[in-house]
Structure 1
């Protein structure tokens, strides 16, 4: 864990408020989705789609991978401008990826740390792999090709290749006992590979939403973010950037809608159409915040979310520890019934007046607590980097 002052942050990202605001809003939505007060009254949009389709909750993870990709060219260019050697940057990329991956394993193993059953895939693990791949690809393209248009073209083709390859594999490869092209939970190629290579180390006995094969299209989510970041930091006029963002975002949404007919939106499979959909929405949302905060110098209502966005991995890690410890403390009420602390707080303090929205109000209150805590640290120019 490191504490960074404002002077430690790179100047480019500091000038682009849209990045931290986008990331902060994504983290706030994550806190709401992962911390419902009453599991019986969760709003539909704050629950993940059971299989095909998508909800607001299903935008959290791909949005984080997208904005992580956006930061890659900002960060690497800043290091290069300061005279940092490429080998040093590569070492940093590897060390950072290993650190995030290990944090994911620590989180999965907590509190028993049983190596016989520990879940190996996970959210932080996928973040680590996507960051490693997208950052190295960007640096490689920047080192080999002089023209930025060629660099972007290679990365775009790589993302297209990954999405096509993933779709073809799921449609063509024969799964023993099930056949070809199975897109249901039981019998798809993603499940088959995970059960063969990681039996006993998955999120559920027969499934993991952050599995091995489904990381392929997740790489494309990060690469598309890198491309958006390259556009964001180009010295073009802002109106040109907005036109490119709106045009590319619209094209991605159109492609997603067309592909959805043969490869439906599916977070569990991280389907190719899901990547196009979430990336298109991410680009349009980034464009909105860029226009609002960095060009119009407005949007002060979103400024508090910068505090969460500046220490995103820390917020995720600690909030997950809280979800697995504090919220599960058993509490016995006056009637003798026992419930977890989270449900007790919700049903006793919020449910009586919430008219069925107690879970939502609890989640909002929890986000506000984080905004206050991280806001105080941010005001003191303290960022916690895990």
Structure 2
């Protein structure tokens, strides 16, 4: 299978791997039986699952560079680019809200934060930074946000206490002040996609901007680019680990140490992907993941919406009625392997279900953009 148009193959593959991972962790066959690495950390810490979202944001930063580098030098085009970025942000927010309304059509309790709204805000702000701030200025913005965020979250006492807990932190307080509990996540006191924590998420995209500039740099070999990406990734990981001594790795807060650590993991993993696919051209069926990566947003939206119609399919059992993908889990795989493996295999089957329509788009070389 040939790649779609002239695209960086490793980016599409890495994005596809990320989307596949996101679908698997978001759609287990049985939420009560999931392997530890496929769960989010409840608070401090970082599991492989906690790396999925920052990887997606990291790749967004790379994509911004690839899409806008040739236009950045022409100030006359900046206004048009910003307007398009604003429209894309708005559309992502609306799609994110629309997905929620598919399941709970109630505007009074609609959760405003979410994966797609965060992607929208981060995309817009990162585009503006890329256009209007020099590369030398990026480090000051990134450092200022990460240090400032650490100071606000950890060094400003809240109700007389410096403790930062799931139910006692400035991030949750700000969200409740501006949005109220009705429009926040119901599954956690601290919304993992809240207002204040979106700022350090922009830094995750800025790490992607840096990676993108390395990849687009002329006059150096691909292997030199791989070396730069790898060394930068390792240094970020070390910086994240050291920073975690002050501000622990924490996905719900999108802590400063988490930005650096996750960004380093993303960059190092992508560098390996770049080495294997674009440099060494190792022959493997990478296109299987490119199918999801080329139409990443469409793949994600489909994975979020598809469980709704599947839930309308129900089967009565001796323990009550089961519906959706739980039918596959309970009546097929749970009878063959242990519950955790059954849950994982079911999630992989669901990922294949999402993959099939995106494969049709891929084969027809159709890319859905917003």
Question: What aligned pairs does 1:124-135 form with structure 2 within 5 A after superposition?
Answer: 124-135=116-127
Question: 1:283 maps to which residue?
Answer: 267
Give a deviation string over 1:136-172, Cα, whole Å, max 9, x none: 110112xxxxxxxxx2221122111111110000112
Cα RMSD, aligned residues only: 2.1
**Alignment CA distance shift 1:272-1:116 (3 Å):** same
Give a deviation string over 1:115-152, Cα, whole Å, max 9, x none: 221111111010001100111110112xxxxxxxxx22
Once residues 284 and 26 of structure 1 are traced to their aligned partners in structure 2, the CA distance between those partners, rounded to angstroms, is: 14
What TM-score results when the alignment is normalised by the length of structure 2?
Answer: 0.93
Question: 1:309 maps to which residue?
Answer: 293
Question: What aligned pairs does 1:249-328 form with structure 2 within 5 A after superposition?
Answer: 249-323=233-307, 325-328=308-311
Given candidates 178, 182, 202, the residue that maps to 1:197 is 178
**Alignment CA distance shift 1:92-1:49 (3 Å):** same
- Structure 1 residue 84: deviation in Å? 8.0
**Alignment CA distance shift 1:48-1:375 (3 Å):** same
Once residues 243 and 281 of structure 1 are traced to their aligned partners in structure 2, the CA distance between those partners, rounded to angstroms, is: 15
Question: 2:130 maps to which residue?
Answer: 138
Once residues 78 and 310 of structure 1 are traced to their aligned partners in structure 2, the CA distance between those partners, rounded to angstroms, is: 21
**Alignment CA distance shift 1:249-1:334 (3 Å):** closer
Question: 1:373 maps to which residue?
Answer: 357
- Structure 1 residue 376: deviation in Å? 2.7
1:63 matches 2:55 = yes
Once residues 84 and 301 of structure 1 are traced to their aligned partners in structure 2, the CA distance between those partners, rounded to angstroms, is: 42
Matched positions, count: 364
Question: 1:35 maps to which residue?
Answer: 27
Question: 2:168 maps to which residue?
Answer: 187
Once residues 61 and 280 of structure 1 are traced to their aligned partners in structure 2, the CA distance between those partners, rounded to angstroms, is: 14
Unaligned runs of 5+ in 2: none
Once residues 210 and 317 of structure 2 are traced to their aligned partners in structure 1, the CA distance between those partners, rounded to angstroms, is: 58
Question: 2:224 maps to which residue?
Answer: 240
- Structure 1 residue 327: deviation in Å? 4.3
- Structure 1 residue 110: deviation in Å? 2.7
Once residues 296 and 230 of structure 2 are traced to their aligned partners in structure 1, the CA distance between those partners, rounded to angstroms, is: 27
What TM-score results when the alignment is normalised by the length of structure 1?
Answer: 0.89
Question: 1:144 maps to which residue?
Answer: none
- Structure 1 residue 53: deviation in Å? 0.8
Which segment drifts farther, 327-336 or 188-197? 327-336
- Structure 1 residue 206: deviation in Å? 3.4
Name the SS for the 2:314 alignment partner. strand
Question: 2:115 maps to which residue?
Answer: 123
- Structure 1 residue 207: deviation in Å? 2.8
Unaligned runs of 5+ in 1: 142-150
Once residues 105 and 235 of structure 2 are traced to their aligned partners in structure 1, the CA distance between those partners, rounded to angstroms, is: 45
Once residues 321 and 84 of structure 1 are traced to their aligned partners in structure 2, the CA distance between those partners, rounded to angstroms, is: 40
Once residues 18 and 314 of structure 2 are traced to their aligned partners in structure 1, the CA distance between those partners, rounded to angstroms, is: 32
